[in-house]
Amino acid sequence: DRHEWEKVEKEDVPEEAFTTIVLWSEHGTTAVIEAKQKELELLRFYKVYKVVKAEGRRGMQTMWVITKKDKGETTVTKARLCAKGFQEGDNMYKDSPTVSRVGLRLVFGIAVAKGWKVGAIDAKSAFLQGEKMTREVLIKPPSEAGDKGKLWLLLKCLYGLKDAPRMWWLRLDAALKKL
């Protein structure tokens, strides 16, 4: 229930929580508006979509996922535009490799035995950098994009689509093989 979330005070959030979802009532704040604009810029930069006429076609709905992350003394607000992927069919490849617990323990064990340092990286806007889509997906653009009455034809996967992790993996796999 959204109203129950609004009653939670900041001191009620455990110290382990580094990221929090921004409540709907805060979506009009300057930080959220700027985060949405930044996400729209990334969508254009990575050429994720092409604006098309609706011409009687229906597009999949989208939603914003807004989060706040505490980074020391500052708070960073992030926005992600997500497709409501549950609205699409189930006839696509959507598998992508993930590491098992056993595999992870094996890597850590080898690293300890060899004296290696283990690190991690984060690919910013990873799904937006995935392989080009081979199927047609139309979405309704968010109102902030200013494309009223139009649809977006996705050229790359958007967060929330069932095959987005796979398309990212295919792009990463190709880049690693090239190296």
Helices (H), 60-163: 101-114
Q: How far is CA 111 from CA 19, 117, 120, 140, in A?
A: 30, 7, 14, 47
Can you give the pLDDT at residue 19?
Answer: 61
Q: Which two tokens stand for residue 138?
A: 């139309």
Burial class (CB in 10 A: 0-12, 13-18, 19+), 163: buried
The type of residue at 67 is T
Q: Which two tokens stand for residue 113?
A: 């035995």
Whether the per-residue pLDDT at 163 is higher than 70: the answer is yes
Can you give the pLDDT at residue 2?
Answer: 45
Lowest mean pLDDT among 19-33, 46-60, 162-176: 19-33
Lowest mean pLDDT among 32-36, 48-52, 157-161: 157-161
β-bridge partners, 70: 75
User: Would the pTM count as exceeding 0.85?
Assistant: no
The type of residue at 48 is V
pLDDT tier for residue 143 given thresholds of 50, 70 and 90: confident
Taking only Cα atoms into account, the Rg of the chain, rounded to an integer number of angstroms, comes to: 19
- Element at 5 (helix H, strand E): helix 2-6
